[in-house]
Amino acid sequence: MREPHLILGVGELLWDMLPEHARLGGAPANFSVMAGRLGNHAAILSRLGRDDLGREAVHLLDPLPTDTSFLQIDPLHETGRVTVSFDNGQPAYTIHHPAAWDFMELSDEWVRLAERADAICFGSLAQRSVESRQTIQTLAAQASSRCVRIFDVNLRPPFYSSEVIQESLELATVFKMNDAEVSQVLALLGLPGEEDADGDSLRRGAERLLMEFPTLQLVAITCGGNGSLLVTRDEWHQHAGFPVKVADTIGAGDAFTAAMAHYLLRGAELRVLNEAGNRWGSWVASQSGAMPPLADATRGEIEASIEQSA
């Protein structure tokens, strides 16, 4: 039996404070939970406050298949929170600052973990502070040459910059973004872009990024309910997505990234990566929240559908 791959989600662990309730989230946490559900040894590298929200986060994560033993506890700063409000059904986010995850320390334990990792996923939001930015970039740099290093950009104004995106792409082997972010990323990097977000223009944008950053091997662009586009230097594959009744889209993109990473580590072709990402992303979108309960039968059905596409 093959040893589970070691997959790390690095960055923000936070609570979405919705009008009616609080919900645990943060892209690295969502990613790690899904990676663990797919059979990997997935660990979350983040930092929580020594407070009720921090304790509740660990309590909720403990039954899930993700390793929380590497979480840091901050005695001075609060567990991260995002206040979510709605105006005519459209969500608006207030990402509170500073939070414990702004002060992630580069520990020897984390460095040893990064050196052994098969895949590491990090974003732009958690790099809004100098300390966490240095920690995240050092971990990515310490990873081995065989490690899949995924930069999953998360453009949350005002918490991003061209510098963070440039530095992260220089470290990454895989770049994941959504279709709305493509033109923004190209503009921030001073690269030519196009207003249209059709498949051809998105592919040309991905090809420009692959030309600009030699370490990049794959650009993944999610298009919401319209599927996704995967581009390498040699080939590309577009997937139309799966129609589902959407409960909410929170965590769907993170599930896509985790499924893509899982099959990428197994040497799957682009069409399988796309199939897996869309299958799992659409399932999460059909459920409430980013970490919904997953029955064994459901997992088996989705995995069988993915295998049929191989």
d(CA 121, CA 261): 9
Q: Please state at what angle helix 270-285 crosses helix 252-264, rounded to 10 degrees.
A: 150
Task: Give the CATH number for residue 102.
Answer: 3.40.1190.20
In a domain, 220, yes or no: yes
* Across 92-110, average pLDDT: 95
Q: What is the pLDDT of residue 89?
A: 63
Cα three-residue angle 156-69-131, rounded to 5 degrees: 40
Confidence grade of residue 171 (pLDDT, cut at 50, 70, 90): very high
Entry field: residues in the chain: 310
Residue 45 forms part of a structural domain: yes
End-to-end CA distance of the chain: 21
- 3 lies in some domain: no
67-86: average pLDDT: 94
User: Does residue 7 lie in a domain region?
Assistant: no
Q: Which two tokens stand for residue 62?
A: 């403990």
In the chain, the number of structural domains is: 1
223 pLDDT more than 80 = yes
Task: Answer yes or no: is 6 within a domain.
Answer: no
Q: What's the whole-model pTM score?
A: 0.96
**Residue-wise pLDDT tens digits, 35-62:** 999 999 999 999 999 999 999 999 999 9
Residues of the chain above pLDDT 90, percent: 86
Q: Which domain holds residue 145?
A: 13-309
pLDDT band at 21 (very low <50, low <70, confident <90, very high): confident
Residue 4, domain member (yes or no): no
Measured between alpha carbons, how far is 131 from 200 in angstroms, rounded to an integer?
39
Dihedral over Cα of 44, 50, 54, 55: its sign: positive
Residue 8 lies in a domain: no
Nearest to 150 by CA among 276, 307, 27: 27
For residue 194, pLDDT over 80 is answered with: no
Query: Does 299 fall in a domain?
Result: yes
Cα within 13 Å of Cα(6), Cβ side: 13
Q: Has residue 1 got a pLDDT over 80?
A: no
